Amino acid sequence: MSILVCGGAGYIGSHMVLELIKKNYDVVVVDNLSNGHRELVDKNAKFYTCDIRDDSLMDNIIQKENVEAVIHFAAFSIVSESMIDPAKYYDNNILATLSLLNTMRRNKINKIVFSSTAAVYGEPESIPIHEDNSLRPINPYGETKLTIEKMLYWFDNAYNIKYSILRYFNVAGADENIKTGEMHNPETHLIPIILKSILENKKIKIFGDDYPTQDGTCIRDYIHVTDLAIAHILALEKLNKTNKSEIYNLGNGNGFSVMQIIKTAEKVTGKKINYEIAPRRIGDPAILIASSEKAKKNLNWQPKFYEPEKIISTAWNWHKKLFLDKN
Ligand code: UDP
């Protein structure tokens, strides 16, 4: 029996594969390589270049590999791009997931762990954000993830497909042994942008210093990608045990401002970061901090890399390696 990781060649997916292999799971990866990197997938996993919409290839893989559950990361996730081209997001995120769920139905697979996002909450009604906060996405990316969450609810109701929905806050960092890490193109996330700016001698922009926060810059809850991957395994094991669908936030419960992250990155790297203040970025809420009490309590999840220093230092090791390999 094996676990199918859809989008396993991406940033989070490749860390997922690594942690599953460490726990001796048989892992099968499908990825269409639109954003993923084949070389980030651990050699002990089976890899197929396959779009999750390719029904016949998916059927073949699932039957050949005896798949028992699915962990689904395959999606587009750039908020700004989703504002400009929502059709791309509705097509790739919603329609492709519908295909995947129908494939699961055809092949009688009834467990899925789904990668969702804090973007389903939009501008939060209260902080920290609990799973039962209002769901009011303010961009197409968040809207597509919420639509899939609702689809999962009704597919459970009608077809008995059980799910664990994991709503991520700001995922960052890299595998401790730098076997994989973040490699987006274009890069839009704060921590890799800061670290690359040091290596490439560039200036970064701080999007807004007039938010209602202590130093005027936005506050986010950063979670290490390995802690996140481990939470998926715990969620899957819980699902297998209880056969009950659940939704969990995944964050550290601590907020750090853009300026605090810059200062921490300077401390970790020993380098000065060159920045300028730029206008606010559309669709950025001032503060996003998770309550992950439910995941900690129900899944017995204990994040290991909760200090921003640790998150940034693993990312720094990864980006230095990438930079050396390139030059
Ligand atoms: N940010 C910034 N400059 C950048 C990239 C991001 O000031 O070059 C800010 C962004 O406006 C937000 C925070 O950093 O307040 C985190 O942004 P990121 O894109 O990493 O994650 P998001 O919270 O949007 O998912």
Ligand 1 lined by 218 (C-beta under 6 Å) = yes
Q: What is the pLDDT of residue 236?
A: 98
170 Cα: distance to centroid of ligand 1 (angstroms): 9
Spatial contact of 165 and 295, defined as CB atoms under 8 Å apart? no
Best substitution site from 11, 117, 169, 189 to test ligand 1's pocket, by max atoms within 8 Å of Cβ? 189
What is the percentage of the chain residues whose pLDDT exceeds 70? 100
Tell me how far the alpha carbon of residue 80 lies from the centroid of ligand 1, in angstroms. 11
Catalytic residue status for 168: no
pLDDT of 282 > 90? The answer is no
Q: Is residue 249's pLDDT more than 90?
A: yes
For the CA of 278, the closest atom of ligand 1 is: 7
3-state secondary structure of 171: strand
Mean pLDDT of 250-273: 98
Instruction: Report pLDDT for 327.
Output: 86
Cβ atoms of residues 225 and 172 within 8 Å: yes
Least confidently predicted of 42-46, 284-288, 313-317: 284-288
309-326, pLDDT tens digit by residue? 999 999 999 999 999 988
Q: CB of 206 closer than 6 A to ligand 1?
A: yes
Q: Whose CA is nearest to atom 1 of ligand 1?
A: 190
Catalytic residue among 11, 141, 222, 248: 141
Q: Are strands 219-220 and 256-257 parallel, antiparallel or unpaired?
A: antiparallel
Going by pLDDT thresholds of 50, 70 and 90, the confidence category of residue 47 is very high
Q: How confident is the model at residue 185 (pLDDT cuts 50, 70, 90)?
A: confident
Q: Phi and psi of 171, rounded to 5°? A: -80, 135
- Which residue has the CA at smallest separation from atom 18 of ligand 1? 189
Ligand 1 atom 12, closest CA: 218
**Centre of ligand 1 from the C-alpha of residue 104, in Å:** 35
Q: What is the DSSP letter of 95?
A: I
Cβ of 193 below 6 Å from ligand 1: yes
**Ligand 1 centroid to 216 CA: how many Å?**
14
Closest by CA position to 308, among listed 272, 276, 261: 261
What is the pTM assigned to this prediction?
0.97
241 CA from centroid of ligand 1 (Å): 38
